[in-house]
Structure 1
Amino acid sequence: MASDDPLRSARLPTREQVIELLDGEFARVGYEVEDVTITHTRPPRVTVIADSDEGLDLDAVATLSRLASTALDVVDTDFAPYVLEVTSRGVDRPLTSEKHFRRARGRKVEVALADGASVTGRLGQTADGVVHLVVPAGKDFEVRGLRVDEISKAIVQVEFSPPNRRELELSEQTGKGDGE
């Protein structure tokens, strides 16, 4: 029996159907469908996780929700009622691809490396498979380059106080206008 058989019996769209239907619509307004989850609860829930290089604010969520609702309403005449939710990746979701690191630039992250070591620092530029991480070095900071394939897990850290000015300067310098 296929893993989504309970969803089919509830007459819900599949993950693939939702992605196929919404991907182009979201792209037209500058966003992408990061993932879709469908839960067989009462009521069933279709959650669309969206993202972009500019992030996702409440206005964008409202726009994407309207787009998703309209697009799904066109084809969902055979689907059972469900709750539609459009949301962002969230701060606790691991950074798993180069675009995730690029989009989190300037944020503090905890990184577990494939060799078992770990490092915490502020994300700078990410390009060509390399993440630049601003890390403490004595009383100052330095920029350390890590290949994305060296990273086994990376999580954005929630900060309650303003970041160190030097740390922020270095995270910005690893990009435009610094000769890289």
Structure 2
Amino acid sequence: MSTTQSERLRGLLEPLVSAKQLDLEEIEVSRAGRRRVLRVIVDSDEGVELDACAELSRAISDTLDETDAMGEGEYVLEVSSPGADRPLTEHRHYVRATGRLVKLQLHEGGDLVARILGVDDAGLDLEVPGLKGRKPTARRVEFPEIAKGRVEIEFNRKDKKEEEEA
């Protein structure tokens, strides 16, 4: 997708996404046979429900039909949330992952798997799980130390309600 088309689509779609109290994470145009696929990825601090994606999809579709932003050819519109395994690239991504287990690749080398306890402007307060029955330890990692970050999927993770009841 050309920078001009990307900027134009972002300028056109950002107000629609913001009106639904969502963040526009990504816009991607790709080819699928003869058609193009426009993927719009949105998120919020509370997550994104299916109904919100459907409403936003209708609003985006109507707006794109009124403009020539996608040109004359056929295209498929997909509006979705980013998914659990998307990379953590923005400060808000780390804030949303508070309480979750993450895998961080550090610039100094090596990986760190830890739970995010807190996020501020400079970095993360983490709890590194103890190995072989040892207690977890606290660790501070500054944002410039992080090369890559991703949420680890936990199949037996207690949700916040269960933790509050315990």
The TM-score, its normalising length taken from structure 2, stands at 0.83
In structure 1, list runs of 5 or more residues that go unmatched.
5-12, 170-180
User: For 2:139, which of 138, 141, 144 is the aligned residue?
Assistant: 144
CA drift at 1:44: 0.9
**1:159 pairs with 151, 154, 161, which one?**
154
Counterparts of 1:28-67 in structure 2, within 5 Å, are 28-41=19-32, 42-67=34-59
Inter-partner Cα distance in structure 2 for 1:32 and 1:160: 27
Which deviates more, 128-137 or 80-89? 128-137
Name the structure 1 match of 2:101.
108
Matched, 1:117 2:110: yes
What is the one-letter code of the residue matched to 1:73?
Answer: D
Structure 1 residue ranges, 4+ long, deviating more than 4 angstroms after superposition: none
Alignment RMSD: 2.5
Percent sequence identity is 36
Other structure's SS at 2:84 match: coil
Instruction: Give the structure 2 partner of residue 75 of structure 1.
Output: 67
Q: Is the 8 A contact 1:134 1:141 kept in 2?
A: yes
Aligned length: 158
| 5+ long unaligned stretches in structure 2 | none
Is 2:98 the counterpart of 1:129?
no
Contact 2:13 2:60 in 1 (8 A): yes
